[in-house]
Each structure stands twice: as C-alpha cells, then as structure tokens.
Structure 1
Amino acid sequence: MKVENSAEGPSSIHLDIPQLQKKNEIIISPISAVTRDGSTGNSVSPPPPPPLQAVPAPEKKLTLFALRLAVLEKAATGLGALGFIWATVVLLGGFAISLDKNNFWFITIILISEGTRIFSRSHELEWQHLSTSSIGDAGISSFRKLRSSSRALAESVKDMLSPVSSGTRKPSQHSREVFETTDATNVREQKLQRKPTRKWTPSEVPILPYGGWVFLSRNISKIFYLLQLLSAIACVVLSLMKLIMHNYGKVKEGESKNQKTSLIIFYALALAEALVFLTEKVYWQWTVVICKLLEGVNEECNLEASGMISTRRFFYDSYSRCINGSIFDGLGMDMVTFAMDLICSNSPDEQLIGARILHRFSFTKPFSDDTLQKIGTTPPVIERLVEILNWEDPQEEEIRLSAANIISKLAGKKQNSLRVVGITGAMESISSLLQTNRSPRSKADKIGEKKTFDHEAYGYWTFNSLGLLILKELARDHDNCGKIGNTRGLLSKIIDFTHADEAILRDSTVATLQVLTVERSLKVIKMLASTTGTTGRKLRRDISERVFTISNIRDILRYGEKQPKLQKRGIEILTSLAQDDDATERMGGTGGVLKELLKIFFQEGVPKDQKDVRIVAGEALAKLAFGSKSNCHRILKLNVVERLIEALEIPLLHVNAGRILRNMCAYSGPESFNQLKGVTAAAPTVLKAILSGEGKLQEVMVGLAAHAFKFMTAEESTAVFERAGFEETKLACALVEILRSYRYPDIKVPRMRRFAIELAIWMMRDNMKNVQIFRDLGMEEELEGVLDTTSELESFNIFSGSIGLRRHSTTIHSLVETALMLLKDRFDQPIGH
C-alpha cells in the first residue's frame, strides 16, 4: 500500500493488486451463494473456478498517461476551436468595423498564435513518431531534450539557431546528461557500423537545401514544440493584458452593447485554451522528466537500457492513437502486439525494436506464457521469425539472434512446435543456423576453402547452439523427427557438431559454449535415434551410415573423462543405434568402441553424481553383445570375463554385468566354450540373487543361469550347488513361485517367465529327480497357465517404445511345450532311471 498525492485531487491510497497476487499466488474467490434460509449453498453450487494468475502489464501506465494527455489536448483544441469560431464569426464578422485598432490586432495576433499552435501540434506527433522510427535517433526525445528550466530552454534554442552543428563544439553539462547514456553510446556504435543504403533515412532528410542542422527532419519536432510553447505563452500574456486592463474600446452611440461581452468571452476562451495546453505540458514534463514514468515502465518490463527506445516508441504510438482517434484507442495497445507489428514491418530499425521486445518478454517469467501464446496464435509473426533465421547480414545479427531465441522458446511447447514446422521452408531456415564457415567474401574461404569460426565478426557458435536447441525442442515430437531426417544436409550438419577436439575434452575449464554445442548435438542425435516405428528405423540407419557418427562418439569416450555429460550422451546414442543389426556391427567394428565402453564400465573412483555413466556404458555393452556373435568374440578377446564376474557383486553394475555375460553365453557359439566356462564360477552369486532378488535383478540372473549353467555337467552342477549351500529344491521352488507371481506378462520384466522356463528345462534334462520336484510343486499347472496368457510382449527382446524390434528365435509356446513334454514323458518313469 502506498499514499500518492495526485494533481487531480487529494491524496489517495493505492493498493498494488498485481504485486499482492504475485506474492500470495491467490485471487479471492467469489462469495458462495446464500439460500433463502440464510445458509450457504456450497453443497449445491459447483466448485469455484481455479484462480487466474493476472499477467502484469506495466505498459498500461503509459496508455493511461497517453489518455490523460489526450483529454487535456482535445480540451485545449476544443477551446481553441471555439475561440477561433467566436472571433471569426462574432468579433471579426459582427464587430469588425466597430472594433478599435488595439483590440483588432490583439485578436489577430492571438488567432495567428493559436493557429500556429494548432498547426504545429497537429504535425508534432508525426515528427515525434518519426524521431523514434530510427534506432539512431531514438536516443533523444523532444520532451527529454527540452527541460522545464530556463537554462535548458535557452540551450535548446541556441542549439537550433546555431549554423554550426552541435557536434562540432564542446557539449554543455546538460547535453552530456542527455547524450552520454548507454543508449546513445550503443546508438552511435550501430550508426557507425551501418552501411550506406540507396534510400534516405527519414531522420536525416534535409528539408531545405541550406537549412543546416535546423531543418533536418529529426529536429523538426523540436521546432514545433517550441512554437507551441511560444504561441501558448503569447496567448496567455495577451489575454491577461486585456482581461486585467479592461481595455475593450469605447462603444459609440447606436452600436451594439454586446461588443465588450464578446471580447471578454474571446479573451477568456483564449486564456483557458492556453492554460489547459500549458497544464498539459506541465503534466507531461512532471510525469516524464521528474517522475521518470518511461524509465519506470522500461524497468518493470525488464527491457534494460536499450529498451528505452522501444518504450518511447510505444508511448508515442499510443498517444498518437488517442489524439488522432478516440481518446480510448490507445488503451487497446500492449507491448507484445506492438512488437509483433514492428517485427513484421520492412524497416530494419522497427524490426530490431520489435525483436528486442519479443525476446525480452519471451524470457521474462511474468510475461513469457502470455507472450508465447500470442506469438503462437499469430501465423504471420511465426512466419516472419522463421524467415529471419535465414538472414546472414552481420548488421542484422541481433535481429536474427532474437528470432532464434524466440523460436527456441516456441518450440518448447508442442502445439507451437507443430506450427513452426508447418511453415514451408522452416527446417531449411533452422538448418541455416548451423552454418560454421565465414562469409564467402572472407580471404580464408577464397584460399583453400578453410572453414573457421570468426568470433569477432559473427557469433557462429551462438547461432549453432541455438539451432541445435531448436532442433532438440522440435525432436520431442515423433513427426518432427522424420522431417529433421528428411531435410537435405541437416542430419550431416548435426553429426558434424558431435566432433570435439581432444584439447576441449581434456580441459574441464574450456569455453562453456563450445561444450554446450557438442552436448546439444548429442542430445538431438539421441532423440532422433530413439524415435519409434518406421521413422526411427530409417533414422537409425541414416545416422549409423554417416561415417563420422561412431568415430566422433568414440573420441568422446576416449578423451572425455572430464566431460561425463558428453560421455553419457554419446553412450546413449550407441545404445539406441544398437537396436539396428547393421549399426550394431558397425559400432563393434569401429576400433576402440567396445574397449572404451568397458573401460568406463569398470572405472572406479567415479564421483556419485557421475556413476550413471557407468550404468549407461553397461547397457550399451549388453545391447551390442545381444545377437551379435562377432561383438561377443571381440569382448572375449579383451579378457574381461573375470572382471564381469566380479562386477556381479557390485550393486551398481550387477544387472548390466549379468546381461553382458548372459548375451555372451547365448550368442558366442560353441567355439568360445573354453573361454566362457569360467562363468560357472559365478554360480553362487547368481543363485543367491535368484532366491533373494526381485524385479530386474532377478530376471537378469535367471536368464544368466539358464545359459551359464549349460557349461556345467550334471556332476559339476551338483558339486556347485553343494559348495554354494543351495539345494536344487530351493531353486525349483523359486522358479515355480516366479511363474505363480507373474501369471501375466509384466512390462517391467517382460522376459521373466521365459527365463524361468528356460532354467527349469535345463534342470529337468537328464535329471528325473528335478522332474519329480517340479511335478510336485505344480509346475505343469503353471505352465498351462502361461500358454493361456502369452502375449507378443514376451516374443521380443528389444523394444522401441511399444514396438518390438528383435524377436526371440524360440517362441515361449515352444519353451512351454518342451517343459510340459519333459514333465509328462518322464513322470511315470522311476526316479533313478
């Protein structure tokens, strides 16, 4: 709450409602209806709607200020028009002959002054608007240039009347206040960098050939402003002189006696009109110069120093609407709509102003949602933003940068991302952000066509990073992934950014933007590679066929120990690509990939927040070993079986270590029997996990046992169970209990029942004792239940979303029939047979 003294009345108390809502995050709901008997109707009436969060709009202060100025301006204009009509019709028309010379000239001078003020006022807004249409001249506004003090007014007059440009002499202290600001400094830098054009800049047009500084169009509004002040002051002085002196001339006999009254009315109207106008100017100066309304709104809008140009331009446009149309027309303006209109214009300065506003509002939390909603529902604005992404002129770099940032925010919402991609040529425009070479005119490109990054001339890294960010947001949608893959040359550009030099990977203090660009490119590739369905299959093939994809990731794994995030992203890409058989063989055949993955998987001393890198490395190894005999042989050549067995004891690694061993035992072939025979040493650990584990760990260990125990003879298995202190009955009970617990396939452990049946078959082969045990435990009934509940979920080992990719060579129906055959055929035979 705050108390303010208003010029319009006594002090009043104001509650800043938007701030209260922001702090408490609530809006008081309507009072519930009261029934006739006085009780509330809460039990009958529907619940109140959820509270709506009010969107703050600081620019409403400017539109309200513009409306109040317009009221005063139109009141002054109305009084002036009435006085003009009164003078021409009543005085000069009715009493022209009888008026004395003194009053005649007073009236004439007042009318000329009033006409001058009306003329200059009608055109001042046009020139004020012109002064803010160019970035180079918006740093100075007429009402900031002209102070209320006599010194400021005198300096302004002196500046305008001097034939020498003000830039050639030492500025005064007041001039330094106006010019030496951040805005002006930026403006001068931009103007120096601006190339000559074939068109006149409106603010630089010399209205008269020899007028010098005075008649440059950007200074005309100042001249008009001074004319208004001088004419208003003249009207006040002349009117007061007549009203105070009562010098209305003598009325001759026979002439009308209304002449004196008519003159009093005219001078009163002229005085009232001038005073209202001066009141408007005082109110203007007080609000803008003393209270700094524009600076306050600019700060609330979070537009920073350069945003003053935008704020002034918005105010002038709002004020113009109130003056030229209804006084309420300006109230319909808001910053976002204003910025969208500017960015769609053909003026580079207006485009820059609009881009700055939209960029700031899109990234400022209180305004972001509302701004993005308006942009997203305005197709011409989205089309213009997408078009701007193609602009490569260094002078338009800031506009392009703002557009890229806005598009990145729009792409974060699915509905808006679809609108962006739906624009013809949108993907090509986004692809243009991934340009990495200098301008074709650069010497480096002409000699040897060398592609480099020129950070001082153009922010390539920034645009590359933003382009990848946009693609990452768009890739959240399945259809967009297909469009990214089908855009000519785009996939190759993205893969090129996955390359990182050894120096960058080994240095943890390297420039953040470079690492961020590599990370974003890896994220995009990961999202594309994990796409489901036919689109995903095609994308994985296209990505793996690019010759630099796997080698770039290998370098990240090899040298990126200090960049665990990059390693994790790269490994996730390998895991996704491993869904494709050809890609699996390419990755295994790329020198060092399996070796580096195993190195990361076994790496010790990793901080807790980086341990997930070891987990994803294990998942990638398991995928690469699945179904690939050649990859299994490559892993065996690295002599890591013993280390994998040890990893079964480590909680962080035991699941993936079990998967890797299981796949190696299943797909290595008989020629690797001797190398894998040592896996049987893990039997105690595996049995313990089967009996006491649950979920994914139990599933993996049952699957490992089903294949690893095949390397043991019956005598060896008995000895292993005895040494481990386990009875085969316990294991049989555990397997039957698994089938009983999972009467239906579980999406979290889709292979649990399959692995349990495989292990049961191994136990029953050539061992009638185990057959009898399973029979007694009700295994036959459970197997028949499996036949009634099988689904396609159990027919695949690898999934892409809800789509199965790699089907098991043996169906679960075949496994159940094999197990039932073992139970039925041997049930009636003696146990010792």
Structure 2
Amino acid sequence: MKFNKDARREGDSGSIRLDIVRNANGSGGSLDFFGPQPEPSDPTPRRRRDGDFRAPEKKLTLFALRLAVLEKAASGLGTLAFIWATVVLLGGFATSLLPKDFWYVTIILLSEGTRIFSRSHELEWQHHATWTLASAGRYSFRAIKSSSRFLVRAVKAAFHCAASASRLEGDRRRQIAAEEEQRRTVEFQKQLVRYGTQRTWHPPEVPLLPYAGWVFISKNISRALTWLQIASALSCVTLSTMRLVQQDYGESAQETANGKMALDLFYGLALAEALMFLVEKIYWTWKISYCGLLQQVSTECELGAAGVVSIRRFFYDAYSQCIERSIFDGIKMDLVTFAAELLDSESPDEQLIGARILQQFAKSESFAFEALRKIGTTTRAIERLIEMLNWKNPAEEEIRRCAAEVVSKLAGKRQNALRVAGIPGAMESIASLLYTGGGRAASASRTAEATAADGSSDAVATGESNYEFAVFNLLGLLILKKLAKDDDNCFKIGNTRGLLARIVDFTSAKQGLLRNEHALESQIRAVTRALQVVKMLVRATGGTGKMLRQEISEIVFTVSNIREILQCGERHTELQKLAIETLTGLAMDETAKERIASTGGIVKLLFAIFFKPEFVSENSVGVEAGEALAMLTLESRKNCVLILKKGDVLERLIAALANPVLQLNASRILRNLCAYSGAESAWLNQITAAMSTVLKATMKETGKLLEVSIGVTMQICKFMSSEQFAAELERADIKEADYVEKLVKILKEYKYPDIKVPRIRRFVIQQAIWMMRCPHEKYLKLFKDLEMEKLLESVAETTSDLECFHVFSGSVGLSQHRKTVSSIVDNALVLLSGGTGQEE
C-alpha cells in the first residue's frame, strides 16, 4: 500500500482529504486498514492529438461523396436531356423529325427513364442485399470442416491411446475438439433458428412471385437493376454516337438551323450523361472490386471476419445520404454512431451488425478511447445496450454477448460507469447475466467434482444446455467488478434484490474443482472474479461499506465458501489471497468478526497459512493472513480467548517477531491478545518473552513497525513490574536513558498526526505514563530533564480525530479508542507535575 505523506492537493491548501485507495483489479496489493488511505489523484486521460486519431471509415464517406457528385451530375444532365427532348424536340420539331430520329430519341428517352427508375430503387435493393445468410453459410462450412477435423483427431487420439499409456491426455484432446465442434455447430443452428423462427420474412429470401424460384427473390434484384442500368447507358452511348457521326437529320432539319442544333444538343447531352454514369460505375468497380476498399477499411477498423458485411452496409447508408440529401450529409457519418443507431432497429441482422461493430471498437486499442467516449455520451445507446443484457433468446445470444462486452468496457471508465449504473434497471439487467441455467451457481464446481471422481476429463459437462451461460457469468462479474470501484455503485449493487446472494454463490469452489488439474480456466476465473467483487464491496467506505459488510456476512454461504478455498486452494494462492482479503474486510464489522471466528477451522487455517514457510515473503498470502488475524482479534475478547486456547500459537507468534516479514502483523496480533483477552488470562504470563524483541524494534525500526512495537511494549508492561521492565531493557542491551530519549525523540519527530502511523503519539504517551508511574521515579526525572512537558503541550494543541481510531475505512474511522489523546495528554501532564493521575 502506498501513502502520500503530504496529502495536500492543489487549490486546497491547509486541508487534508483522505479516502480509500481502491485496487483497480480487485486483487493484489494489501490494503492496510490500520491507517487511513489517501485518495490518489485520478490520472488525467491522455488527450489525443489530431494526428493520433484514425478513422478508416472516412475513406468510405469520401468515396461516397465523389460517387454522389458523379451521380448527381449525370442525373442533372439526364434530366436536362429529358426536358430538352420532350419540350423542344418532340414538342417543337415533332413534324420535321425523320422517323429514324423520332425512334432514336424515343428509345434514348425510354432507356434513360428505365435507368433513372432502376437507379432510384437500386440503393433500397442494395440495402436488402446486405442482409445475407453469409454468416450462416460460413458457420455451416466451418461446422462441416470442423466435423471432418474432429473425426481425424478422434482416430489419431484413439490410436495414440491404444499405443501408449497416456489415456488422460488423449481424452483431454478429444474433449477439447468435441467442445469446439459442438460450439461451432450450435452457432450454425442459432443462425438458422434466427431466420427460421422469426415472425417476419427475411428480406433477401422474399419470393416476389410465386413459383418463380430463385430468379425473383430480392437479393438478386439489385444485380438485375445494376446490369439494366449499364445496358441502358451503353445503348444511349451507342445511339447518340451513331447519330452525331451520321448527321443525316433530313432536309427539313437541315434547312432549319435550330432543328439541327436541337438534335445535336440532345444527342450530346445523352452521350455526356451516359458516359458520366459509366465513369461512375468504372470508378465504383475499380475501388470496390479491384482495390478492395471495403476489405481494406474493414481490416483497418479491426472488425474481424464479419466486418466486410458491416462496412458494406455502412457504405450504402453513407452513399444513400449523399444521394437522397445533400452530398455532404454522408461525410458526417461515422461507424460508432451508425452502429449505435442500428441497435434500435427491429431487425436482428441490423442489431447484430451494430453490436459487432461496437464490440470490436471497444476491444481495439486503436479505437476504444474515442468509441467509448462517444458511446458513453449517448444515453440512448447505453440504455439499449443495458436492455440487451436481458435478452435470453438463444437466437439473440451473440447480440447479448457483444452488448455485455461493450458494457464491460464502458464500466472501466469512472464517468461511464456512473452513467451505466444510473440507467434505471441497469443493476437488474447486469444481474441477469449471472443466471446459470439451472438455478445453481456452483454447477461448475460440482461438475469438476464429478470429473475428479471419475478420474477422467470426459465427465466435464458443457452445461445444462447449449447456451453459453459461463461466458455471460464471467462478463456479468467483470461488469460488477468495474462498477464496484465507486462507492455509489456499491450501494446500488447492495440494494439490488438477490444480487449479493448470486455473487456469493459464485465464490463456491469445492475440493473437486480446486484440486482438479484438468479444471477449466473459466471455472477458476468465475470464482476469482466473484471474490474480487465481494472483496471490493466489503471494503467500501462509510455507511455503504457498513451496510454491505452486514448483509454479506449474513449470507450463510459467505464464510463457508471462503473456508473451502483456504482449505483446498493450495494450488491457487492468488485465490486464497483474495479470500483472506475478503475476510479482513468482513472482520471490520463487529458481528461478522465473531461469526468468522466461530466458523469451524477458519482461525486455524489462517494461522497455518501465516506460519507456512513458503508464504513468508512480501505481499504474500501469509502477510494477508496475518492482517486478517489482527483484524479478527481487534476489540474482540471472545476471539482473543479462542486463539489463546489453540496450543502453541502464542509461542509461535513470539518466534515470528524475529521474522522481518511477519513481525508487523505478529506484533499487532500480540498487542490485541494482551489488550482484549482480559488481564486474568493465564496464557499471557509467557508474553513477557517477547519484550526484548519489541524493545529492540523500538530502538531501530521506523514507520508502522515502530508504532506497533511501542503499542506491544505498552501492553506487555501491564503484566510485569518496573524491575522486570528494567531487566528486559538490560537484556536487550538498551540503557534506560536511551529508551526514554527515544520516546521523546519520536514525539519531537511527529509534531503533527501522521496518516501512516496515526496512533504512534498515543502509544508513546501511554508508555511514558506507565514508566512515570514506576515507584522509584527515575523515569519521571528523565522525562522532566528532556522537557517532556513542552512536548505534551504541543501534542495537546495538534490532536485530531485521526488519532482516535483503531482502524479506518478510507477516511472514515472505525473502532474508536475509549480515551481521547487529549485526556491521555492531560493525565501525563498531571504525573509530570507530581500528581497521581488516572489509571490507564
């Protein structure tokens, strides 16, 4: 745990703001509750420079703009030619035209009319053409391919098992191949279900005419219209060029200059319009087919295998905007807004396209920053994503999974997390992700137990159905873990009906899972994430934390699930560490503290981990176990007596004082045992054996260890006489004057309360009071010579609430000392002035 000694922040001179340091990932890094934790300054998000931001879809919108310019120019020329022909030629020169020119003009007008009509509807059909069953076909191909591979692997695995003794390895390979084949087959079936069970027609497969077969289904109409336009343009080019070259308009037209010019102008306009349209088509074909613009943009956008379909749909929408409205409307489009709008569609295909785009952008390192910022500021998009979390139809599984992944990314940013949690019903929607299909959250653990019993990994089931509940469970827990970084969200989680119980259910990990070498990683990950969420909830600050600790401790499975992890989780030390940290947080509640200690085996397991040699290292499971024991013994006479009855615990704690890693928490436990077990406890007579070690620590250590060493010394002194204390000083090779000078030096050093060691001045003064009460008064004289009275007066002027609590929940003090520092200082001043003072 890191502390900032100077907790003053810019623009807030003279004030100190303290708050809990929340661990970003819910694991790792011990949070010390014996001192307040300052709030770290939020990292300023890196501002992207203009050159850093990439938007590959801008290539498509620019391409759509250029095509629209050509299209509108061609349409303008075509309209002018049509008006010229109908008004001037057929209206003014109809009687003077040769039959040949009449039919040429008529055919060109019909061709142009056909092209304009087909062009006006082509984009609509192109939109329908993007709704294809390509994804289903792709899954079909993969399923067949996977099936063939699976057969080959099965044969090889069977042969290998017959030829060697590695049967378990072969079973494992077959299981993985079978699960992969089943997953792909299920995906294919879901695609078919999506189109076969919906209440409306799938647009690409609509039969426009009965008994017409595949010819008149809508996905082929777009191609027919495209070729019709090309044929029309080519006919216009051919006819117009022929007449412009031949120039045989007849004697009537030749004699009338206006008639000849009118025909030349019409054929010229028709030729220009048709050529411009063909240039547009050539440009389109060059960029799309030859240069592969759609595939290129899809690759740059990192949209994956299905990205081309999404990009094609985006391009057609942008092109439609440019054609139907201003040519500049299309360039205002972007993929994130486009995808968010598709989420509101009634079509499952469009919803899937939108969800896939947002999912890929949210996961991409290149686009996540801008994408999440845009989604986070669009309330309707967040509401729709939250709504999708409730969808349980198997045909909508992929949409729901994409939405859950996007929400998990949104929850990773504090501002977005507040917006997500602020959506009405958001917590209930997230809770729906924790559904396990059978109403039993620990099904994975029981499956693992069955595996262990059979001695074969073939017993591992894939679940009660083909629906991937485990994936959604992990995503739901991940979202909750990110939301729990904020105390307001913790309050909402706690107030959501049944959610705490569901989270606790996922912490269940039986022996069959924890000791199974073939346990699936997803099973362990679910337990880990659930523990991370519970840990963050019980370590919430203020009234929210108090409420959550009470409610979680009242769930009967909480402590027993943690006990299973401590007892059988030797393979998973990080899991054990999370479990112990959760216990430490729960122990901050007085009722939960005794409930934990009374649960059979918890205290014994914690001591076993604390004293285990392989766990004796910085930031290890052993250190966490020591902190949990220190919290369990704090102000709990029942727990202290329970621990003192456990054999040689006291001797081992005293021996642990010689270990630099265990010394801090061992000292805390010993101090609590002395302070709260009761003076009549016979077990404490041997505690004096620790005096020499803690006296040495007082003389040479600093920081927290110095603070707790003085606290232990003060408590041990209650069980010995002044002569015994002097003998212990001598045995530690410490002169009495040096020890008194050390205490005075500490008060001089800590002129003000320190958030790292908030109780050090209290412990020093209490130790000085005990020494000044000694009958021979030599310590009293030493303190007077060192001007202890002035130091005490200085302490009295600088006392604060920071020094009045045993533990802290962020900046909120818990377990207040019975006496204030001011009263202790007054008592010491009375003794220095020759009075009797009050008993401590």
- The answer to whether the superposition gives a TM-score over 0.5 is yes
Q: Which residue of structure 2 lines up, in the alignment, with residue 723 of structure 1? A: 731
Deviation at 1:228, TM superposition (A): 0.7
Matched residue, 1:238? 239
Q: Contact 2:61–2:331 at 8 Å: present in 1 too?
A: yes
Instruction: Please state how far the C-alpha of 1:190 moved relative to its aligned partner.
Output: 5.3
Q: Answer yes or no: is 1:590 the counterpart of 2:599.
A: yes
- Contact kept in structure 2, 1:132 and 1:138, CA below 8 Å: no
**CA–CA distance in structure 1, aligned partners of residues 186 and 758 of structure 2:** 64
> C-alpha displacement at 1:490, in angstroms?
0.5
Match of 1:680 in 2: 688
DSSP-derived class of the 1:737 partner: helix
Aligned to 1:781: 790
Residue type of the partner of 2:110? I
State the AA in 2 paired with 1:756: V
Match of 1:316 in 2: 316
Alignment partner, residue 664 of structure 2: 655
Query: 2:214 maps to what in 1?
Result: 213
Separation in structure 2 between the aligned mates of residue 324 and residue 52 of structure 1, nearest angstrom: 31
2:421 is the alignment partner of 1:421: yes
SS of 1:670's equivalent in the other structure is coil
Report what 2:564 is aligned to. Answer: 555
Q: Shift of residue 787 of structure 1?
A: 2.5
Whichever residue aligns with residue 100 of structure 2, its letter is N
Matched, 1:454 2:463: yes
Q: 1:688 to 1:330 in 2, by over 3 A?
A: same
* Distance (Å, rounded) in 1 between the aligned partners of 2:828 and 2:388: 67
Contact 1:453–1:460, Cα closer than 8 Å, also in 2: no
Q: How does 1:558-569 map to 2 (within 5 A)?
A: 558-569=567-578
Question: How far 1:811 moved relative to its partner?
Answer: 3.0
> Contact 1:438–1:453 (CA<8 Å) still a contact in 2?
no
TM-score normalised according to structure 2 size: 0.82
3-state SS of paired residue (1:806): strand
Deviation at 1:438, TM superposition (A): 4.2
Deviation, structure 1 residue 117: 1.1
Aligned to 2:370: 370
Equivalent-residue separation in structure 1 for 2:239 and 2:190 (angstroms): 48
Kindly provide the amino acid, as one letter, of the partner of residue 795 in structure 1.
C
Q: Which has the higher contact order (CA 8 A, sep 6+)?
A: 2
Summarize deviations over 1:694-723 as a string: whole Å, max 9, x none: 111111100011112332233333332222
Pairing partner for 2:102 from 97, 101, 104: 104
Aligned twin of 2:504: 495
Q: CA RMSD in A?
A: 2.6
The aligned residue for residue 147 of structure 1 is: none
> Do residues 670 (structure 1) and 671 (structure 2) align?
no
Quick check: 1:131–1:137 contact (8 Å CA) kept in 2?
no
- The residue correspondences of 1:584-663 to structure 2 (distance < 5 A) are 584-606=593-615, 611-638=619-646, 639-663=648-672
2:534 to 525, 528, 540: 525
**Amino acid corresponding to residue 326 of structure 2 in structure 1:** S
* 2: CA distance, partners of 1:346 / 1:733: 80
When residues 223 and 186 of structure 1 are mapped into structure 2, their CA distance, relative to the original with a 3 A threshold, is: farther
Aligned partner of 2:73: which letter? Answer: A
Partner of 1:24: none
The runs of 5 or more residues in structure 1 that have no matched partner are 1-48, 141-183, 441-451, 828-833
In 1, Cα distance between equivalents of 2:730 and 2:260: 132
> Any residues of structure 2 matched to 1:50-65 within 5 Å, and which?
51-52=49-50, 54-65=52-63
Contact between 2:531 and 2:579, CA under 8 Å: does it hold in 1? yes
Contact kept? 2:234, 2:274, Cα under 8 Å: yes
Aligned residues: 725
Q: Is the 8 A contact 2:576 2:621 kept in 1?
A: yes
Q: Residue 681 of structure 2 aligns to a residue in which SS?
A: helix
The answer for the alignment partner of 1:804 in structure 2 is 813
CA distance, structure 2, for counterparts of residue 521 and residue 453 of structure 1: 21
In 2, are the aligned partners of 1:134 and 1:350 still within 8 Å (CA)? Answer: no
Q: How many Å apart are 1:631 and its aligned residue?
A: 1.2
Change (3 A) 1:412 1:187: closer
Does residue 266 (structure 1) correspond to residue 275 (structure 2)? The answer is: no
* Residue pairs, 1:122-521, within 5 angstroms: 122-133=120-131, 191-194=191-194, 195-251=196-252, 256-438=256-438, 454=463, 457-507=466-516, 510-521=519-530
Deviations 1:595-643 (A, max 9, x none): 11111111112486x7422211111111111111121122222221121
CA 1:336–1:100: 2 relative to 1, 3 Å:
same
The SS at the match of 2:767 is helix
Q: Deviations over 1:76-97 (max 9, x none)?
A: 2122222222222222222222
Greater Cα shift, 582-591 or 644-653 = 644-653
Compare 364-373 and 315-324 and name the one that shifted more: 364-373
Question: In structure 1, how many angstroms separate the alpha carbons of the residues matched to 2:616 and 2:249?
Answer: 98
CA contact (8 A) 1:386 1:403 kept: yes
Work out whether residues 771 and 826 of structure 1, in 8 Å CA contact, stay in contact via their aligned partners in 2.
no
Q: Is the 8 A contact 1:135 1:349 kept in 2?
A: no
| Amino acid in the other structure paired with 1:603 | K
Given the superposition, is the C-alpha separation of residues 98 and 814 from structure 1 closer, same or farther in structure 2, using an over 3 Å criterion? closer
Cα shift at 1:816? 2.8
Letter in 1 for 2:613: E
Residue aligned with 2:813, SS: strand
More moved, 631-640 vs 618-627: 631-640
> 1:207 and 1:467, CA in 2 relative to 1: closer, same or farther beyond 3 A?
same
User: In the superposition, relative to structure 1, how do residues 813 and 83 fare at CA in structure 2: closer, same or farther (>3 Å)?
Assistant: closer
Q: Aligned partners of 1:617, 1:439: CA distance in 2, in Å?
A: 33
Report the alpha carbon displacement of residue 246 of structure 1 after superposing the two structures with TM. 3.1
Q: What secondary structure is seen at the aligned counterpart in 2 of 1:55?
A: coil
- State the distance in 1 between where 2:503 and 2:359 align: 25
How far, CA to CA, are the matches of 1:139 and 1:113 in structure 2?
38
CA distance 1:185–1:508, shift in 2 (3 Å): closer
Q: Which TM-score applies when normalising by structure 1?
A: 0.83
Kindly provide the amino acid, as one letter, of the partner of residue 206 in structure 1. Answer: P
Residue 536 of structure 1: which of 539, 542, 545 is its match? 545
C-alpha deviations, 1:21-56, integer Å up to 9, x for none? xxxxxxxxxxxxxxxxxxxxxxxxxxxx99555421
Q: CA deviation at 1:453?
A: 6.5
Name the stretch that deviates more: 311-320 or 636-645: 636-645
- 1:718-797 equivalences in 2 (<5 Å): 718-765=726-773, 766-797=775-806
Distance 1:106 1:455, change over 3 A: farther
Per the alignment, in what secondary structure is the counterpart of residue 814 of structure 2? strand
Shift of 1:139: 9.1
Deviation by residue 1:316-343 (Cα, 9 ceiling, x = unmatched) = 0111111112222211111111111101
Please report how far the alpha carbon of residue 188 of structure 1 lies from its aligned counterpart in structure 2 after TM superposition: 6.9
Whether the 8 Å contact between 1:389 and 1:432 is mirrored in structure 2 is: yes
CA–CA distance in structure 2, aligned partners of residues 467 and 137 of structure 1? 27
1:825 aligns with 2:834: yes
C-alpha distance in 1, partners of 2:89/2:823? 116
CA distance in 2, matches of 1:738, 1:64: 72
Q: Does 1:703 align with 2:704?
A: no
CA drift at 1:475: 1.4
What secondary structure is seen at the aligned counterpart in 1 of 2:283?
A: helix
Q: For structure 1, which segment, 211-220 or 775-784, has the greater mean C-alpha deviation from structure 2 after superposition?
A: 775-784
CA distance in 1, matches of 2:664, 2:199: 71
Other structure's SS at 2:802 match:
helix
In 1, Cα distance between equivalents of 2:484 and 2:819? 36
Q: Decide whether the 8 Å contact of 2:504 with 2:534 is kept in 1.
A: yes
- What is the Cα deviation at residue 795 of structure 1? 1.6
C-alpha distance after superposition, 1:659-679 (max 9, x if no partner): 011111111113323x22222
> In structure 2, what is the equivalent of residue 26 of structure 1?
none
Q: CA deviation at 1:553?
A: 0.9
Structure 2: gaps spanning 5 or more residues = 1-46, 139-183, 441-460
Q: Secondary structure in 1 aligned to 2:613? A: coil
Q: Report deviation, 1:250.
A: 3.2
Q: Deviations over 1:230-281 (max 9, x none)?
A: 111111222222223333233389x524333322222222222211111111
Report the AA paired with residue 66 of structure 1. A
